Structure 1
């Protein structure tokens, strides 16, 4: 049993048909069937049951499928690790980021990392937190930069410092120009523009202060929140560091005095997957930022 045979078997197991697996592997069907037969003979057990349309894995086939995935992942990781060692810190680091992390990431972390490791290039994928976690699980990005809250299951994590949420508004919406901070209760009856992921947190906090928030607009991007607020449509609730991400010419902001309405940027990665030297160094840099 070798790596090639394991790749063949995984293709058969995933496709459910030898014909489809052969097409996926870009090889003829007879040699693939022969490799499956040789693998079964070597192990002394049937791995598949052939049906009229699809094959079904036997109990032994299911065990081999799970082990084959682990073996191939370890093989790929070992190859990448050795190549990293040979190349040093050179190559392309793929990072997934949420839009609201942009200002902090560029100002305090990517710039420092670039100064220290000039041979590293970057490939950035943007999306919301759930999209970034999905990209991590698929191996499309190696490090994700997301905002709390999120599910930590299977993820390694390094947090940046906590930051307050702000209420951003035009001067026409500013009910007390002399104050730079506000209490949660002052948001009562204000038309709020919020990032959808923060809705449970904002709603719970407002309810704890005795009122139901008047949510005028929900969206999936901190920049949209600020743009709508900048147009005078309501009061935008966003992380403080996101304020400079969009056109805020007409806006003023006030920090919301609430321990509940705080958020953090975090660097995340998959615990069960190989982490390149580039990614490990970036995470170290992030943690110091």
Structure 2
């Protein structure tokens, strides 16, 4: 496989039609069909299910689409950084979940891009496992991790802020009169919990023996989507502070857990890797903001 053929494959996967993809790529349809056939022969498998009017990716095709997208992004970012290595320019790719600490990072990025207009930013949302995997693959320059994890294999910088766990609920809920939420307050109340935190059994110690009396009705990866569920009055949301709009017109409030439960916020990047000048400058600016 070479990058040119992968770009052809991605164009066809997006267009779902060889004729349309060929027009976008400015090549002939027979030439594009041959490239796809050669790629399938090289891999020894079918990548598309050919319908009357539309192509559909096979399971293998979907896998290749995801990997090819990462490879093309990495190649484009590397090319841009090499071509402009004498300038403060190029692309910064940062992966992160939802966190209050992202405000500091966004402020640093904003200042950087205003001072150096040729700097481009790529923000990728995902949980800690997803962003760490993309960092290891070289797709990301930095990953922002919430929670305690081993970072020995990475350079890392812990932010001064910490994320605080609490409950999001409707403003007219009786629990909203509490200044904080204790485990007993959640007995028999339907709860939505972060998928990653559930997998890590993050709250077992906090709610202790009452865990069996707190019904977990679902998990989520994005707080914005989960809060829409809460607005209907069907559940309570266990999430970080500062992730919802808790002004009066929103109809939701946040109350912290008691005993308090917080998470560190850490920026990590690969060891034994030569960083671009813009990546070096970003981490220096971020550390200076402390």
Task: Judge same fold: TM > 0.5, yes or no.
Answer: yes
Match of 1:228 in 2: 229
- The answer for the alignment partner of 1:29 in structure 2 is none
Within 5 Å, give how 1:131-150 maps onto structure 2. 131-150=130-149
Q: Residue by residue, what CA displacement relative to the aligned partner does 1:206-227 show, whole Å, maximum 9, x if unpaired?
A: 11x6543321211222333322
Number of residue pairs the alignment of both structures matches: 210
> Contact 1:101–1:145 (CA<8 Å) still a contact in 2?
no
Aligned to 1:162: 162
The alignment partner of 1:275 has SS state of coil
* Matching of residues 1-289 of structure 1 within 5 Å: 83=82, 86-100=85-99, 104=103, 108-160=107-159, 161-177=161-177, 179-199=178-198, 200-207=201-208, 210-212=210-212, 213-244=214-245, 249-259=250-260, 261-287=261-287, 288=289
Give, in angstroms, the shift of residue 84 of structure 1: 8.3
- Residue 104 (structure 1) shift: 2.2
Which sits farther off after the overlay, 139-148 or 106-115? 106-115
Deviating beyond 6 angstroms after TM superposition, the runs of 4 or more aligned structure 1 residues are: none
CA-CA distance at 1:97 after TM superposition: 2.1
1:136–1:270 CA contact under 8 A, matched in 2: yes
The C-alpha deviation readout for 1:138-184, integer Å capped at 9, x for no partner, is: 1111111232133424122212211311210013433252x332334
Q: Any unmatched runs of 5+ in structure 2? A: 1-37, 40-77
Kindly indicate whether the alpha-carbon contact (under 8 Å) linking 2:127 and 2:196 is maintained by their aligned counterparts in 1: no
1:234, CA displacement in angstroms? 1.0
CA distance 1:281–1:174, shift in 2 (3 Å) = farther
Question: How big is the alpha-carbon RMSD for the aligned residues of Structure 1 and Structure 2?
Answer: 3.3
**If the length of structure 2 is used for normalisation, what is the TM-score?**
0.61
C-alpha displacement at 1:105, in angstroms? Answer: 5.2
Once residues 127 and 176 of structure 2 are traced to their aligned partners in structure 1, the CA distance between those partners, rounded to angstroms, is 33
* Structure number, greater radius of gyration: 1
8 A contact 2:176–2:255 mirrored in 1: no
CA distance in structure 2 between the partners assigned to 1:86 and 1:276 by the alignment? 7
TM-score, length basis structure 1? 0.61
CA contact 2:165–2:262 (8 Å) conserved in 1? yes
Structure 1 CA distance for aligned equivalents of residues 148 and 188 of structure 2 = 26
